[in-house]
Structure 1
């Protein structure tokens, strides 16, 4: 048999190699959601310049989705190691509360942001130490901070919403730079740095090996615990910057509601992007697409005028469809049903012989 024959058979399968690509179905769903909005708002895809700034629905999706993209990037690295971080929402709240509290007390912008970011990284370090040094399962270790973190954020704000008036702080999540929302620029830089570190160095391969089999990685000389801690610290950093974005956009800190349930959206974005929750191989581009699907879905619900009481059901249906389309087993089952030949009915002669 010619070696090229199996490859040609694979390429001839329904859907071809393109549909088997990790990003094919997430990108297809994202494009479909964007086009669906055109039905309700014909100018949905248009981008215009006003006073030197870019405006439009697509820009709004990127702007409002920036914190989720950032949190999802950190979540991707944690999940790639075989873990999960349920405390990112609490970290978001603590970071925003710290920054706004320090600014309201008269501290400088640089000091306030630095303290908030360092505190977020320390929270990530705490999670990493619980997982690696004490051997607590990631879902339990991060659940501790998920519960306690909200209390810490409310202690910082004294249970109130802290409001500030700082044009410089507003720049982080609610202002423009070079015509683009500054939050989008932060996300692009963070994504570029993450891609360089994980795809242009051995770091990404080491993280994938730890997620695939941490014990085997340790036996071949890879410091699995150090990489796991680094992933949680990076996740805390991303959540902390996202907290600054959210609080600076409204110039206020709400320890009770800031970043509420963002951890679930981040996990969902990672899964929609094709990264398995079991750890191992990960896709940063898929994570970004997954986060944009979630944000576009929220925009679509608002644009289409779907009743709020059915919003969660609508989101669940769309997410289920994406997950099914991504499943090789589901697609293979559908393909087998399509290729299954129909059994012709027995003729009278055959029926008599059978009898």
Structure 2
């Protein structure tokens, strides 16, 4: 049976995003206006897309991890490590402005990010460590590693090629947006046009049953953690490129929470299995638009965490079976389910006697 728009998991995130945009238009009537300057698009909506691109990337990787019945709390630390490595290499190079220097720095950062993903994947899929514990280890140690790389200082770089990924433009749009949308399209093709998505969902629903069915569940779990770390590494390069510096203390801080919230808002089940990449993109846009709304309304930035906490509570309640059972109403015209018979309703059968001929006098 086809799903109607009212039952679609994308309906509520889309309505929430529209409501936030309307609120911004009420506060600032020119909020949705887009202008072209030097062949590039500028405007508040473009800024939301560009600033939300790192969260989109991290959330896409988190979607596949959660679909496999896991969690990755280390993406913020991987973001910090990636940016620190890239900026430290560029700052110490003889020619920081050379394109080769920037490419080498990006390669080193992404290589280390993949290695960190291999570490998480090995702990979870090979050694059987609980995902929240395995990634919590790297979440704690990774930030310290980033601080060691930068000596606890903010490393600034002056390199035009370094600014391309986070602040550059291509085809009139920010490069960060194009990169995030490209990753979204690629993962969408792999998970919805091949058997990979079905195998991932089967692992998330029941890992033991998928193993008995011949699915290489350990390889799939291993791969999703590597992909999540790779997405976090690219996001770290974006953030460092946008500010032309590596701030190990603040880069990627709480981005893992934003990614998890974006995944949940988008309709992906925290129990594993069902996932929605489009919903994740909508969730990331909601989070970035919410942050922009708070700034536009003149509210202190620290209050943003309170709004996010309220959103988390609302989403968790909407996904809780008991809460939905209490708030759901009976559909009109639908008969209530029949109650099972009780012992009082079951009467013993009367004996049947055969009477032949005339009744006995």
Short-chain TM bin? 0.7 to 0.9
Q: SS in structure 2 opposite 1:55? A: strand
Number of aligned residue pairs: give it: 327
Question: 1:17-70: per-residue Cα shift (whole Å, max 9, x none)?
Answer: 322101000100010000110011001111111111101111010000000000
1:315 alignment partner in structure 2? 308
Deviation at 1:105, TM superposition (A): 1.7
CA distance in 2, matches of 1:41, 1:126: 47
- Is residue 25–residue 325 contact of structure 1 (8 Å, CA) maintained in 2? no
RMSD (Å), alpha carbons: 2.0
Does the alignment pair 1:231 with 2:224?
yes
TM-score normalized by the length of structure 2: 0.86
1:34 alignment partner in structure 2? 21
CA distance in 2, matches of 1:234, 1:294: 22
Deviates more, 1:246-255 or 1:330-339: 330-339
1:211-290 correspondence runs (5 A): 211-290=204-283
Deviation at 1:106, TM superposition (A): 1.0
Deviates more, 1:153-162 or 1:301-310: 301-310
Cα gap change, 1:196 to 1:282, in 2 (>3 Å)? same
Q: SS in structure 2 opposite 1:49? A: strand
2:180 alignment partner in structure 1? 187
1:152-167 correspondence runs (5 A): 152-167=145-160
1:72 alignment partner in structure 2? 59
Deviates more, 1:263-272 or 1:299-308: 299-308
1:49 alignment partner in structure 2? 36
Does the alignment pair 1:98 with 2:91?
no
2:138 alignment partner in structure 1? 145
Which residue of 31, 49, 72 maps to 1:62?
Answer: 49
CA distance in 2, matches of 1:32, 1:327: 24
1:82 alignment partner in structure 2? 69
Runs of 4 or more above 6 Å deviation: 326-329, 337-340
Deviates more, 1:312-321 or 1:78-87: 312-321
CA distance in 2, matches of 1:17, 1:239: 35
Which residue of 190, 196, 205 maps to 1:197?
Answer: 190
Cα gap change, 1:21 to 1:304, in 2 (>3 Å)? same
Which residue of 148, 173, 178 maps to 2:171?
Answer: 178
CA distance in 1, matches of 2:312, 2:132: 22
Q: SS in structure 1 opposite 2:36? A: strand
TM-score normalized by the length of structure 1: 0.88
CA distance in 2, matches of 1:307, 1:169: 31
Cα gap change, 1:329 to 1:17, in 2 (>3 Å)? farther
CA distance in 1, matches of 2:129, 2:54: 28
Deviation at 1:228, TM superposition (A): 0.4
CA distance in 2, matches of 1:81, 1:264: 18
Cα gap change, 1:327 to 1:54, in 2 (>3 Å)? farther
Cα gap change, 1:179 to 1:76, in 2 (>3 Å)? same
- Is residue 124–residue 237 contact of structure 1 (8 Å, CA) maintained in 2? yes
Q: SS in structure 1 opposite 2:41? A: strand
- Is residue 26–residue 322 contact of structure 1 (8 Å, CA) maintained in 2? no
Does the alignment pair 1:297 with 2:297?
no
Larger-gyration structure (1/2): 2
